[in-house]
Amino acid sequence: MHSTLQRLSNISALATTVILSLLAAIAASSFLIPTPLDPSSLHISHLNVVLGRPNYQPRAHDREYAFVKFDLDADLRPLFHWNTKQVFVYLVADYSTPANPDNTVVVWDRIVRSRRNARLRLDDAKQKYEFKDLSPSFGTNTTATFALHYQVQPYVGALQGAEVVRTEPVAFPPVKRRSQ
């Protein structure tokens, strides 16, 4: 009985070692596979700032909201290989205010689950999330830059991500009232 348990222990130890070594090799090989992305194009076709109140806070004070429309052409197919489960793509707006010099707001995102759907061509796409500052106003801020980022989620290993493309600074227009 003792020798049977010892053999079972040796076999499970060997199997665990082999599986962990294989998983470590898979994770390490993901860093060796080059992922050259063609430069993508990102164009902010419309940026509007409106003074209004949120619908979910009836007693709230007026605050400024920015609305973004953009054109995007990105080919993320090179990111897909045998260890890619999915790719998370997101568009961020970077701007500064006197109170908060470094602000980054995610305005749009998408999860790409297969190489077949990894070619993104969006015309006049709208933001998915509210674009507002912590304070009620963007203040004296005059510009924002927009950048497309990605995160590759592998089957085995660490997340890998980078910035694909960044726009030139886009000017904030004058604030409009809802009635305008």
Least confident window among 139-143, 153-157, 167-171: 139-143
What is the model's pLDDT at position 53?
63
pLDDT at 36 over 80: no
CATH for 35-177 is: 2.60.40
pLDDT score of 137:
80
| Higher pLDDT among residues 88 and 5, named by residue | 88
Residue 89: name the closest of 68, 110, 63, 107 by CA: 110
* Cα distance between residue 172 and residue 131, in whole Å: 12
**Residue 38 scores a pLDDT above 80:** no
- Phi first, then psi, for residue 23 (nearest 5°) are -65, -40
- Specify the pairing of strand 176-177 against strand 41-52: parallel
Q: Which pLDDT score, from 0 to 100, does residue 34 have?
A: 60
Mean pLDDT value of segment 9-19: 85
Mean pLDDT of 142-167: 89
pLDDT at residue 180, as a whole number: 47
**pTM for this entry:** 0.80
Domain definitions of the chain by residue range: 1-32, 35-177
**What is the tens place of the pLDDT at every residue in 87-139?**
999 999 999 887 788 899 999 999 999 999 999 998 888 999 988 888 888 87
Q: Closest Cα partner for 157 from 17, 29, 18, 19?
A: 29
Q: Within 13 Å of residue 138, how many CA atoms lie on the same side as its CB?
A: 27
What pLDDT score does 51 carry? 63
| Backbone dihedral angles phi then psi of residue 18, each to the nearest 5 degrees | -65, -45
**pLDDT at residue 61, as a whole number:** 75
Task: Dig out the tokens for 116 from the structure.
Answer: 């077949």
56-89 tens-digit pLDDT: 666 667 788 888 889 988 888 888 888 889 999 9
42-59 tens-digit pLDDT: 777 777 777 666 666 666
